[in-house]
C-alpha cells in the first residue's frame, strides 16, 4: 500500500426519507415518524441488542451460537431500491417489504459505504458495520406483495440475484437518541485505504 492509496476522511450530506420498525409478518416493517434508539438499537424489537445467535449468514459458526451482533439496524437507499426494482422488472420495491429501518436518499452507492462510516443525525449517530446481503426471506416477502397469486416463477429468488451490492447496510448505534424521518444527516466517511500483501 502506498500513501497515494489513502483517501482522506470526508463528509457528504444525505436525507432520512423514512423510518420503519418491525411488524408482522417477518421481515416486514412499518413507517413511523421517529425512533428512540438506545445503544442496542430499537428497544423491544427482534434485532435489538449487542449479541445475536449465529445463523445461515455465518456457516463457519455453530448455528445458534451467541455472537457479536453488528445487525441492529438495516439501512437502505431510495435510489438503490429503484435499481433493484428495475432489475426485477417491478414497478417498485417498498422498504416495508424487506425489513428496512432507515431509508436514506441522496447518498450515492449507499451499499458501498465503508465499515466505520458514521450516519450523524441531529440527536443520535449510527455506525455502518457492513454491506447487507440480500436473502430469500426478503425475496419471498416481495413476491407476496407484487405477485400474491404466485404467477411469476422464481420471483422470490430474483431478489438475492438482483439486489447484490444494492441492498444497503447493517449498522449499530454509537450515540443513543431520537432519529426523525425527514432529517438531513451528515455521512462521515473514515479515512479509506486498501490493504494487500
Three-class SS state of 187? strand
Residues 29-48 that bind its own copies (CB under 8 A): 39
- The b/e string for 149-173 (b: 16+ C-beta within 10 A; e otherwise) is eeeeeebbebbbebbeebbbbbbbb
Task: Give me the sign of the Cα torsion angle 173, 176, 178, 180.
Answer: negative
Q: Which of 104, 143, 173, 185 binds its own copies (CB under 8 A)?
A: 173
Q: Does 4 bind its own copies (CB under 8 A)?
A: no
Asked if residue 86 lies in contact with residue 92, where contact means CB atoms within 8 angstroms, the answer is no
Binding letters toward its own copies, positions 123-162, x by CB under 8 A? ----x-xx--------------------------------
Q: What is the DSSP letter of 45?
A: S
Give yes or no for residue 50 binding its own copies (CB under 8 A).
yes
109 touches its own copies by CB under 8 A: yes
Name every residue whose Cβ is closer than 8 Å to that of residue 10 and which is 6 or more positions away in sequence.
188, 189
Cβ-based nearer residue to its own copies, 29 or 111: 111
Residue from 17, 21, 32, 67 in contact with its own copies (CB under 8 A): 67
Residue of 36, 65, 133, 157 interacting with its own copies (CB under 8 A): 65
C-alpha cell of 178? 431520537
Minimum Å gap between C-beta 96 and its own copies is 27
Q: Rounded to the nearest whole angstrom, what is the least distance from the CB of residue 128 to its own copies in the complex?
A: 9
* Interface with its own copies (CB under 8 A), residue from 55, 106, 114, 160: 114
CA 158 to chain centre: 19
Q: Does 175 bind its own copies (CB under 8 A)?
A: yes
Closest alpha carbon to 144 in 30, 27, 65, 44: 27
Cell of 175: 450515540
Chain contacts with its own copies (rule: CB under 8 A): 1, 7, 10, 12, 39, 50-51, 61, 65-68, 70, 108-109, 112-117, 127, 129-130, 172-176, 189-190, 192-197
Amino acid at each position: 500500500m502506498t500513501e497515494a492509496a489513502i483517501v482522506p476522511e470526508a463528509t457528504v450530506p444525505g436525507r432520512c426519507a423514512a423510518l420503519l420498525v418491525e411488524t408482522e409478518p417477518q421481515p416486514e416493517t412499518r413507517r413511523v415518524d421517529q425512533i428512540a434508539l438506545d445503544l442496542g438499537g430499537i428497544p423491544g424489537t427482534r434485532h435489538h441488542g449487542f449479541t445475536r445467535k449465529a445463523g445461515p449468514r455465518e456457516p463457519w459458526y455453530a448455528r445458534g451460537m451467541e455472537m457479536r451482533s453488528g445487525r441492529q439496524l438495516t439501512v437502505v437507499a431510495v435510489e438503490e431500491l429503484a435499481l433493484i426494482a428495475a432489475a426485477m422488472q417491478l414497478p417498485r420495491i417498498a422498504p416495508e417489504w424487506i425489513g428496512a429501518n432507515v431509508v436514506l436518499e441522496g447518498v450515492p452507492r449507499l451499499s458501498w459505504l465503508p465499515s466505520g462510516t458514521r450516519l450523524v443525525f441531529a440527536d443520535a449517530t449510527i455506525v455502518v458495520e457492513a454491506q447487507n446481503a440480500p436473502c430469500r426471506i426478503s425475496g419471498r416477502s416481495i413476491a407476496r406483495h407484487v405477485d400474491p397469486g404466485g404467477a411469476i416463477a422464481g420471483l422470490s429468488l430474483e431478489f438475492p440475484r438482483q439486489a447484490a451490492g444494492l441492498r444497503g447496510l447493517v449498522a449499530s448505534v454509537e450515540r443513543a437518541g431520537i432519529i426523525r424521518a425527514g432529517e438531513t444527516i451528515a455521512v462521515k466517511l473514515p479515512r479509506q485505504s486498501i490493504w494487500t500483501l
